[in-house]
Structure 1
């Protein structure tokens, strides 16, 4: 996946906290849309009301689950991005409205991504934004970004992705995990205690099979 926007995000200090503010969330999402337009020639119109609703719905859930960041911060960052993706798909604030000429050949995107963008421009925008954010935050926090799985460049995967999240937006969390090389939870994708990394960490902390947060 072409995540050139990651470098722009990574240049922003304390990105993890900035993206939890509506002003920065909206600004970076719009910048991501411009980056996709420059690379692939797809013009987007952004509905600010829907984008704001996606943010507010996401931040409410993320705040309720943020205690899990103390258990495995790296995995929680991926999970939180999956929730953003779910809400973006659910609210669908972007609409591809046509094509524009690219300014120069150097800005052109990867050929392997081109057909995916043409197939589902809005879905690519939402997913690319979330993958770029995870990569940038991990780079800032841990010094390295997750390796993107090759399935992220497979149009067949995107056919399945679009079909499944149309029926059940929560599957967006599982597909983001898959794109980032983690094992998805297809049964309860947006239930953070059910994530494999969280369960393993809880089991390690308690010495017992984990079913929830450790008791104090």
Structure 2
């Protein structure tokens, strides 16, 4: 089973994570923590452009607030879209650069095939997993595609050409059914269907324990 790179997010100062992530200071600290731990795991040396990272955050908040639903159920189902939109802004903003890789790395490993994209995806998936665990008390999935290099070829090529597709690929990597027709537009019905499947997978896990 695919595993996410580990990370330890900063304390949220008595605020729920879903609110903490919308604060610039927390976002920058959390992203930096993810990159530090990913660097320790992979041996890749990264550089973070904090000016670009702040711009990414502001663009993401604008998207988040612009499409945030008012319905309580839809808000819960909005988590995955919001994380996918975060991935899109990171791909667009390019706040990270891999400046040195270890010698003789295996380029069929997604972490070395596209180090920056892998870091962006890992961060967004970890944020999503943490928010869902706190808000819904559910475990999240990582699809086999997360380790499939052919999927990563497609992800990199498409996301670099049209960053909106990063949201669809994000759904694919977390085991959801992607919305390829308009991934950049939140669909409550689409999100509801994916949330139902996530809930069912959690029920199946409980039944197997």
TM-score normalised according to structure 1 size: 0.80
CA-CA distance at 1:112 after TM superposition: 9.9
Cα distance 1:127–1:165, how it changes in 2: closer, same or farther (>3 A)?
A: same
- Alignment match, 2:120: 126
* Structure 2 match to 1:3: 4
Residue in structure 2 matching 1:24, options 15, 22, 26: 26
Q: Residues 143 and 63 from structure 1, CA distance in 2 versus in 1: closer, same or farther, beyond 3 angstroms?
A: same
* 1:196 aligned residue (186, 190, 200): 190
1:64 is aligned to 2:66: yes
* Contact 1:10/1:136 (8 A) holds in 2: no
Aligned residues: 191
Match runs of 1:1-216 below 5 Å: 1-5=2-6, 8-9=8-9, 12=12, 14-67=16-69, 70-99=72-101, 115-193=109-187, 196-198=190-192
* C-alpha distance in 2 between matches for 1:78 and 1:200: 9
2:46 counterpart SS class: strand
Unaligned runs of 5+ in 1: 102-110, 202-216
Q: CA deviation at 1:145?
A: 2.3
What is the SS of the residue equivalent to 1:145?
A: coil
Unaligned 5+ segments in structure 2 are: 196-209
Q: Distance in 2 between matches of 1:3 and 1:200?
A: 20
Q: TM-score, normalised by structure 2?
A: 0.83
CA RMSD of aligned residues (A): 2.6
Asked which structure has the greater CA Rg, the reply is 1
Which stretch shows the higher mean deviation, 186-195 or 25-34?
186-195
User: Offset of 1:178 from its aligned partner?
Assistant: 0.6
* Equivalent-residue separation in structure 1 for 2:80 and 2:40 (angstroms): 27
Q: 1:11 to 1:87 in 2, by over 3 A?
A: same
Q: Please state how far the C-alpha of 1:146 moved relative to its aligned partner.
A: 1.6
Contact 1:10 1:139 survives alignment (8 Å): no
C-alpha distance in 2 between matches for 1:163 and 1:58: 22
